[in-house]
Amino acid sequence: MIQKKVCMVGAFATGKTSLVARFVKGIYTDKYQTTVGVKIDKKQVEVEGTEVTMILWDIHGEDEFQNVRMSYLRGASAYLLVIDGTRRSSLEVALNLKAKVSESIGNIPFIAVVNKCDLQDEWEIDEKDIARLKAKDFELIRTSAKTDIGIEHCFHRLAEKIINELPQPA
């Protein structure tokens, strides 16, 4: 069994905490509760016969009060870049954070998650934005913590990417 640190990164109120709560505890609440600092959770997944314990760092969102400190990503094996589909501003924040992470800790595996797909009618992120992200070789997954869409898939894909990055036995 291996233990790997995985970070949740994105603007505030994009649903990072809700994604983790849905994935780890299978619960969801509509009430927005801001994250101060970091929340730690743990979940074990199996990928290609290998048990991976994901130590989830749900890092506070980038907002008027706090900038995400890159030192918090030290030792991370992968991260989820979370975008709120209903707020275009969260896309710009995500792109800035992605650049900062790459500069600070290098190009570790990540998946861009466009959350709140249950509110598709209210989305400000459109197909052009999606195409723009795909053009940057972002792996994109649409999720909804509320209706439990894409959650298992995105974390599982992240675990696969982690496994693929491991050094092959000689």
Partner 1 sequence: MTLPQAIAEYLVTLATQQRELAYLQVTEEGRIVSCGGHLHHYGLQKVEAGEQISDHLSYLTGFFPHPTANEVIHYLQTEQGLTVDVHLMSHADEQWVVLLDSGVEARKQTEIQQIGNELALLRQDYAKLLNQYQHQLGNQYSSQQHTGQQHTGQQHAGQQHSDDQPPGNQPLSVISGTHSVSLLAIELYADAECAQFSTSSPSSKSSPFFRKSLPEVDLPTTNQYFAKISQIVVEESGLMHSIFGKRAIALFGLIPTTSHQSVYTSIRTAKRLLQQFSALADPDHVEAGHRDSLAIGLGITTGEVSIGPIETSPGVQVLNIFGPAVLAVYELGDVLSPGELLVDAATFTASDRQQADFKRGSPFDRSGLYRLTPK
Q: List alpha helices for the chain, DSSP H.
A: 16-25, 88-105, 127-135, 151-165
Kindly state the tokens that stand for 161.
Answer: 């990417």
Q: How far apart are CA 35 and CA 7, in angstroms?
A: 14
CB of residue 39 to partner 1, shortest distance in Å: 5
For position 89 contacting partner 1 by CB under 8 A, the verdict is yes
CB closer to partner 1, 5 vs 132: 5
Neighbours of 157 (CB within 10 A): 18
Query: Among 89, 100, 114, which residue's Cα sits nearest to residue 19?
Result: 114
Q: Which of 41, 129, 148, 160 binds partner 1 (CB under 8 A)?
A: 41
Here the tokens at position 112 are 């861009």
Q: Which stretch binds partner 1 (CB under 8 A): 72-80, 94-102, 127-135, 157-165?
A: 72-80
Close Cβ partners of 8 (under 8 Å, ≥ 6 residues apart): 16, 17, 19, 20, 56, 57, 58, 59, 79, 80, 82
Strand, coil or helix: what is 47?
strand
Rank residues 39 and 132 by Cβ distance to partner 1 and give the closer one. Answer: 39
Task: Out of 75, 99, 104, 166, name the contact with partner 1 by CB under 8 A.
Answer: 75
Give yes or no for residue 130 binding partner 1 (CB under 8 A). Answer: no
**Binding of partner 1 by 32 (CB under 8 A):** yes
Nearer to partner 1, 66 or 147 (CB): 66
Site residues, partner 1 (CB under 8 A): 3-5, 12-13, 32-34, 36-42, 53, 55, 57, 61, 63-66, 71-72, 74-77, 87, 89, 124
